[in-house]
């Protein structure tokens, strides 16, 4: 009996995990640091696929927290390349990748490619959060109703910071950042 309850709780917990769609440039790659802006945090420069990625020193902790509490998918023009040096530097395993099968470097394909994944998660009663540098142009009409968005470009920060995340997600974290 006790074992059955534990199994039921585990299945419920797994299925209630939020889905997070995670971009790289302007989210993990600090575009303001790339532009030379001094930051209050350290920046690690990671060379990947011919590009230098500027990753804040807290980002590994933050992304590991996300992967601990949610089903995270890369939703980036880096596509599967995100699972190389960037994932390794962040200290995470390879993540599933949202991909439309083209090699487009534009971002207009992302909503259509992520739509079915987001819709399926919402139908399961899960929260869906898309973290991206939207520059104020949230794809609300292109995604299923109920998808939440974090726009890292809204205040010209150009990188994900802990306080940008919704409270419901922060409550799932196991620790607080150490700086």
Q: pLDDT tens digits for 135-155?
A: 999 999 999 999 999 999 999
Residue 47 vs residues 29, 55, 157: alpha-carbon distances, Å = 11, 11, 22
Which domains are seen in the chain, by residue range? 18-170 (3.40.50)
Q: Which helix (H) or strand (E) holds 167?
A: helix 167-170
Question: From CA 11, how far away is CA 28, in angstroms rounded?
Answer: 31
Q: Are 178 and 64 in contact (CB under 8 A)?
A: no
Q: Are 43 and 57 in contact (CB under 8 A)?
A: yes
Residue 55 vs residues 23, 85, 86: alpha-carbon distances, Å = 13, 12, 9
Burial of 77 (0-12, 13-18, 19+ CB in 10 A): middle
Q: pLDDT tens digits for 3-51?
A: 333 333 333 344 589 999 999 999 999 999 988 999 999 999 999 999 9
Q: How many CA atoms lie within 13 A of 26 on its CB side?
A: 18
Q: What is the model's pTM?
A: 0.89
Residue 22 vs residues 2, 40, 77, 102: alpha-carbon distances, Å = 37, 23, 11, 19
């Amino acid at each position: 009996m006790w074992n059955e309850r534990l199994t039921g709780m585990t299945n419920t917990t797994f299925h209630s995990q939020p889905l997070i769609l995670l971009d790289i440039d302007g989210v993990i790659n600090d575009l303001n640091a790339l532009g030379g802006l001094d930051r209050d945090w350290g920046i690690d420069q990671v060379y990947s696929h011919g590009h230098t990625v500027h990753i804040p020193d807290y980002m590994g902790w933050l992304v590991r927290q996300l992967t601990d509490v949610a089903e995270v998918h890369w939703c980036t023009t880096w596509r599967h390349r995100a699972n190389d040096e960037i994932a390794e530097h962040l200290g995470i395993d390879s993540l599933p990748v949202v991909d439309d099968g083209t090699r487009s470097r534009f971002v207009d394909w992302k909503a259509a490619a992520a739509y079915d994944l987001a819709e399926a998660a919402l139908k399961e009663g899960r929260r869906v959060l898309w973290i991206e540098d939207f520059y104020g142009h949230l794809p609300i009409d292109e995604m299923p109703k109920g998808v939440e968005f974090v726009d890292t470009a809204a205040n010209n920060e150009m990188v994900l910071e802990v306080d940008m995340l919704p409270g419901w997600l922060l409550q799932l974290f196991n620790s607080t950042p150490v700086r």
